Amino acid sequence: MIPSQLLTQLGTDMVAMILAGILLVQAGGLPGFGKRVLFFTLMGILPALRTDLSYWNWYGFPTVYTAAQFTVNIVGFCVAGLVLAKIIATPSPALLPKARAA
């Protein structure tokens, strides 16, 4: 591996986590630290299902590799979730917009 490969991976991982953070904000902040971490952890299953499982099915990638990729994705998103769930706190009810009467 060369440094540019590591930097490219770091950049793509950071973009993925920024997008995940935006999704959490759009989801309304989800009340509770645990729910926000679970939200991120479950998002880690998406790339594993979409890409790694397809590689296993269509191209015969080894089951051990596929299981490792699932683990990397889920654990990576969980760890990022621990950080981002702390940063993106549930908004105070006083800060939420009030519903208008129809």
**CB-based contact 99:41 (threshold 8 Å):** no
Decide: pTM greater than 0.95.
Answer: no
- Residue 53, burial from CB neighbour count under 10 angstroms (0-12, 13-18, 19+): middle
- The larger pLDDT score, comparing residue 29 to residue 3, is at 3
Tell me which residue has tokens 């009467």.
101
> What's the whole-number average pLDDT of the chain?
85
pLDDT reading at 40 higher than 80: yes
Q: pLDDT, tens digit, for every residue of 58-82? A: 999 999 999 999 999 999 999 988 9
Beta strands in the chain, from DSSP E residues, in sequence order: none
Q: Residue 27's closest CA among 90, 92, 94?
A: 90
Q: Residue 69's closest CA among 85, 86, 47?
A: 47
